[in-house]
Structure 1
């Protein structure tokens, strides 16, 4: 599924709207992706679209999504802890504390990570999820965040 998501991101991230899911599925099939991988990715993308639209402040008659006061704290359920694992939870906490992932975006990342395969979700897969959430919300991460999301961490020396 993540290979499909990376393909979609690489081909449509520059503001170009991806085609409707049915047409996108045909394009992905033409590029050689397996049918079950395509279906899983399309269902995941559909959930991302719904989540991103639900967090939009432009939705009339709905309160702002995921309001959070400055002194609140996110508590993860046991299911979230098990599915995300310590490494992904630490990365989410890092992005949150760095101020580059607002609470509403964090909740969408968690929602989409919970819908992703893997137990626990791999950190590289979580980074793809974060990129997809930024993209779905029409945001581009700043250069330092993008570097962190695209860096595999190999070759780094701890000081």
Structure 2
């Protein structure tokens, strides 16, 4: 499913500079023609629709107080899908102000919905890029994340 999302992002949304608003019928035909499996296409389109819903409705978190000194504790299910390296990268992105609490929670929700236990840093970067693309007034964070996605060398966390 992630391959479909990246394909859509590179070939449809980013080129048009439009929000993640989808027309299932139009996309279904295009993606089938591109060689993707129909069941995975439906999952990917639903994933995008859920991303738009998160943006429009906000993210409901269990955080009562946000603080620069607080740290996100991941649930067992979140740890199952987001490995230690990727959780560290999310923390790094918070520290450099690419993600805030709301966009971090949006990214975590999108990553969990992929139901993929083999996500690596490149996958995480693409998902976060898609989330930031869909956030109003997030141009600066999107630009920073875009640089990280396109970077040839890996970011070293210390």
Tell me if 1:145 matches 2:157.
no
Select between 40-49 and 135-144 the one with higher mean Cα deviation.
135-144
TM-score scaled by length of structure 1: 0.79
Runs of 4 or more off by more than 6 Å in structure 1?
A: none
1:118 is matched with which residue?
A: 116
1:15 is matched with which residue?
A: 17
RMSD: 2.8
Match of 1:49, SS state, is: helix
For these two proteins, the number of residue pairs brought into alignment is 150
1:92 is matched with which residue?
A: 90
Judge conservation of contact 2:81–2:116 (CA < 8 Å) in 1. Answer: yes
2:48 is matched with which residue?
A: 45
In structure 2, the gaps of 5 or more residues are none
In structure 1, the gaps of 5 or more residues are 57-61
Distance 1:157 1:81, change over 3 A: closer
What is the CA-CA distance between 1:67 and the residue it aligns to? Answer: 6.6
What is the CA-CA distance between 1:121 and the residue it aligns to? Answer: 2.3
TM-score scaled by length of structure 2: 0.79
Judge conservation of contact 2:128–2:145 (CA < 8 Å) in 1. Answer: no
Map 1:100-111 onto structure 2 (within 5 A).
Answer: 100-111=98-109
For 1:148 and 1:26, locate their aligned partners in 2 and report how far apart those are by CA, in whole Å: 32
Q: Which structure dedicates a bigger proportion of its chain to helix?
A: 2
